[in-house]
């Protein structure tokens, strides 16, 4: 008999952290970058060196997921908007890094992935 081990996803862990710490959690999902060849990785990382602070660039590009805590929703969203563009602002989606901000109540007030408009 199989027994569920109560698997958790990154969102659920971020939601738990946000609620238990009463913080706003930014989840940076940079998995796509690790799938690129070395030349493209270098190009993408160089692009972000203009927007992500020097002290944080290694954090964002060193792991698949990076999570930051903020005291306010406004600061969390403003910081992520300053660091990482919306998906629609990029002509090459290889440069896209997915970001979501999670509130203590579990809501997602910011997501930089803008869905494509349906074809008419």
Please enumerate in sequence order all residues whose Cβ is within 8 A of that of 75, keeping only pairs 6 or more positions apart, or say none: 24
Which residue reads 């081990």 in tokens? 5
Q: Please report, for residues 28, 50, 101, 120, the alpha-carbon distance to residue 62 in angstroms, rounded to integers and kept in the order given.
A: 12, 17, 20, 41
22, exposed or middle or buried, with CB in 10 Å at 0-12, 13-18, 19+?
exposed
Q: pLDDT digit string (tens) for 92-104?
A: 999 999 999 999 9
Please name which of 105, 92, 107, 108 lies closest in space to residue 22, comparing C-alpha atoms: 105
Q: What is the pLDDT along the chain (120 residues), one digit of tens a residue?
A: 567 777 888 889 999 999 999 999 999 999 999 999 999 999 999 999 999 999 999 999 999 999 999 999 999 999 999 999 999 999 999 999 999 999 999 999 999 999 877 766
SS3 96: coil
- Positive or negative, the CA dihedral 14, 70, 101, 48 is negative
């Amino acid at each position: 008999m199989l027994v569920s081990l109560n698997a958790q996803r990154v969102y659920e862990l971020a939601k738990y952290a946000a609620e238990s710490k009463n913080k706003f959690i930014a989840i940076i999902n940079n998995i796509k970058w690790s799938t690129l060849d070395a030349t493209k990785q270098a190009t993408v990382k160089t692009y972000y060196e203009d927007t992500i602070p020097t002290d944080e660039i290694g954090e964002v590009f060193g792991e698949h997921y990076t999570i930051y805590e903020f005291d306010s929703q406004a600061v969390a969203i403003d910081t992520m908007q300053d660091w990482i563009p919306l998906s629609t602002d990029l002509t090459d989606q290889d440069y896209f890094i997915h970001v979501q901000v999670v509130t203590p109540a579990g809501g997602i007030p910011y997501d930089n992935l803008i869905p494509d408009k349906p074809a008419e």
